[in-house]
Amino acid sequence: MPLIATENLTKRYPGPGGGVLALDALSVEIEPGIVGLVGANGAGKSTLLRILLGLLAPTSGRASVLDLDTAAHGARIRERVGYMPEHDVLPPDLSATDLVAHLAEMSGLPRTAARERTADVLRHVGLFEERYRPIGGYSTGMRQRVKLAQALVHDPELLILDEPLSGMDPIARRRTIRLIKEWAREGKSVLVSSHILHEIEAMTSSILLINNGRILAEGDVHQIRELIDEHPHSVHVRAAQPRELARDFLTRDDVLSLKLELDAIVVETSKPDSFYRYLTELAASGKAGEITEVTSPDDNLQAVFKYLVK
């Protein structure tokens, strides 16, 4: 049986003019392992993930996860799945330890086991030293890691991760990608959503490209990766010393343009693979100061989607 299956899955949100069609008769089968779901914001990724978790009812069609129908068995699915949402409403006054341990208990772990498991997962995601600090003082990347920890804490069979690397610094991104791949090697499965093709390729070669609620392409990422490399790729880098970083980037052949902001730099690169690798190495070395956040706008995928639609 496939890990996840949908059949003519359709979701229309009510509104003027017939509402918004978020999923359009989407039919797909997803096998165990790591699978990337790639699409710009508004493509239907988050709607699909919420339906798979039984948190949202489809307008029509059906879906199953772990051979359980999502409409009838949402609670059973959520017991066996770890979910990391794109957005968070993390309580600012709680520490990461208290929040994750509480959620572990809600998942059925006894209190002592929940605290022990919480310490383990916070160490894995790189928050062990900061585990008693109030979450309100965390950076965007640290808050992402709290969400990842709560998804892992009850040892689920399947992880569903919605934009897990968003806002992380290069070192945390590398750690998280390694963690996801280790999880898969242990026999678990991961469905990971992102609007950055490069991030998905670092985790898996198996992808689904989604746009306007429909699957445009699926299969091996190497079959379509050259499409995105034909177009300039923008990267927003937040750093303590953006001018020092800019001077370093200007020496690279793959950097097409730079734009300085107050505490950041926007880079346009012709070779995202090599640029991201260099950025991670640079962050680890500390030569150009601390790099606190890396993001990539949705525009990088638009040219690819237009090509596929044609």
Residues 45-54 pLDDT 10s: 999 999 999 9
Residues 6+ apart with CB under 8 A from 302: 40
**Band (29; pLDDT cuts 50, 70, 90):** very high
Please give the average per-residue pLDDT across 184-203, as a whole number.
Answer: 87
Res. 229: pLDDT tops 70: no
Q: How high is the pLDDT of residue 298?
A: 52
Domains of the chain: 4-223 (3.40.50.300), 231-309 (3.30.70)
Res. 20: pLDDT tops 70: yes
Q: How high is the pLDDT of residue 82?
A: 95
Of 228 and 268, the structure prediction assigns the larger pLDDT to 268
Q: How high is the pLDDT of residue 49?
A: 95
Of 12 and 296, the structure prediction assigns the larger pLDDT to 12
* Contact predicate 59/10, CB 8 Å: yes
Q: How high is the pLDDT of residue 71?
A: 93
Please give the average per-residue pLDDT across 253-279, as a whole number.
Answer: 88
CA distance 153 to 133: 19
Sheet of 20-30, strands arranged across = 20-30, 4-13, 60-65, 68-69
Residues 133-158 pLDDT 10s: 999 999 988 999 999 999 999 999 99
Please give the average per-residue pLDDT across 229-242, as a whole number.
Answer: 80
* Contact predicate 272/233, CB 8 Å: yes
Q: How high is the pLDDT of residue 38?
A: 87
* Contact predicate 297/236, CB 8 Å: yes
Residues 99-144 pLDDT 10s: 999 999 998 899 999 999 999 999 999 999 999 999 999 998 899 9
Res. 310: pLDDT tops 60: no
Over the chain, what is the mean pLDDT? 88
Q: Which of 306, 310, 301, 303 is nearest to 41 (CA)?
A: 301
The token duo for 91 is: 């309580």
CA distance 48 to 2: 16
CA distance 231 to 279: 20
Enclosing H/E stretch for 285:
helix 272-285
| Strand ranges (E), 34-179 | 34-38, 60-65, 68-69, 81-84, 158-162
Res. 225: pLDDT tops 80: no
